[in-house]
Structure 1
Amino acid sequence: MCNWVLQNNQENPFQLFVYLKLTYPSGKIQWNGLDKEYASFFLCKTTKTITNNFKKLIELEWLYYDEQFKYYRLEAIDTLRDERDWVKRRAYPFGYKDINNIRATLGAVLYTQLYKSYCGKHFKKHKSNVLKSESANKSFVVSYDVKKYAEISVNGIVAIFKLSKCKASRIKNLAVKHKLIEVKKNYEKLKPNELDVAKKGAKYRDENQNIIFKNGNYYLQHIDKIYSDLYFKKRKKLETL
């Protein structure tokens, strides 16, 4: 769902959808003037904008009016998944803290998907060692876990999720700004005789010459390394015929 929202530029209606899901867990909404004012205050948007986004949710069929009981109903997430064939089971549990930084959170969710895939392929999982204290006869855990950074490129995000390069870069920067992911620049110091080779190699491959000069030295800038500890849960598997 998060991927679809970014691909289709529906961040604003989605923001309201998440707010409504959290505020009305039963899925039933009267949507009177007071409801609109609360949403306007919390989301820091005008009531006109809130109303427009509410109408968009109806248009998207994420929300509908129940004629029998005279209130609005939010569609269940799994119903939406089933109708739209959103088969991916990884899900980020949104909270109120995420709502006003919705683009940053969506960006973090997107990059974390590739981060977790990269880690699953390139890093072996090690169980923490459990040592037993002979004196107290108690167990305690010694963990050797360290942050593992993965090379996730903006171009990779563009190719896989079909976003513009500008948007892929923007949501990454927002996720970093709000400390949802960490980015480590990846530089390789070039020797004097390697500079021309690096430039010619980039030109031959029709790539940007990611060579920078700082502190009296030239560096080749590789793909940024990313770390994320964003938590995903798994939703149920969609039923198939």
Structure 2
Amino acid sequence: MGKLDGRVFVITGAARGQGEQEARLFAAEGARVLLADVLDEPGERVAGEIAEAVGKERVRYAHLDVGREEDWAAAVAVAKEQFGKIDGLVNNAGILRFNELTATPLEEYELLVRVNQIGTFLGLKAVAPEIEAAGGGTVVNTSSYTGLTGMAFVGAYAATKAAVVGMTRVAALELAAKGIRVNAVCPGAVDTPMANPALLDPDGPSPEAAEAMAALYRKVVPLGRPGRPEEVARLALFLSCEDSSYVTGQPFVIDGGWMAGVSIL
């Protein structure tokens, strides 16, 4: 038996990175999954690969711009048509930009707010009533290490991720009586294309760039390496299954010890 047998999940940003690994793991644990993203070609490919492993009746892909309320309504309709209900949501979709805060264009700041913050809000607004109608379930929001502490040159991103933590706590309070648990994952450095765009290069990062990144992780992360997206997926699974049945309203840091403090060694 899987940890998610019989349950239906919507997972956003599922075309690659953390969302892809969450979709693969949740399906492997028995869930029926709607993968949603704006990256249609890779999203369809991932959905097809999962379908080959677990059966096409348990997987569906839908185009979803999380900042558009009408896209959320359409995605919910697809999930209900395909699976009949929705038991859980993983609000994973997000974007990152590096910029000095006072040099950040307003348009860039607003874009991050629309995707990372408004996207999470719209997901809760659209899916929580469906989860309640299904008898209760879970929501996992994706915040960040930077939503709990400062980090230079990601001011807009950190602001949106701090908002997600606050939204998670409020949603947990308001939805508890409806049988819905709401938690947040707060990853540190994770080896995905969002944090390391060189991964999108067909040839991968150059040896020099790869070594520079590795040296940085050895310096700032106590465990000496970036996280892997499948490690974040396992935390999302824990927060989405009965193993965490008495947990709600919490941000869970998964950062290799980065937030623990400064090491002088």
Q: Fold match, TM over 0.5?
A: no
More helix by share: 2
TM-score, normalised relative to structure 1: 0.25
Q: Which has the higher contact order (CA 8 A, sep 6+)?
A: 1
Larger Rg: 1
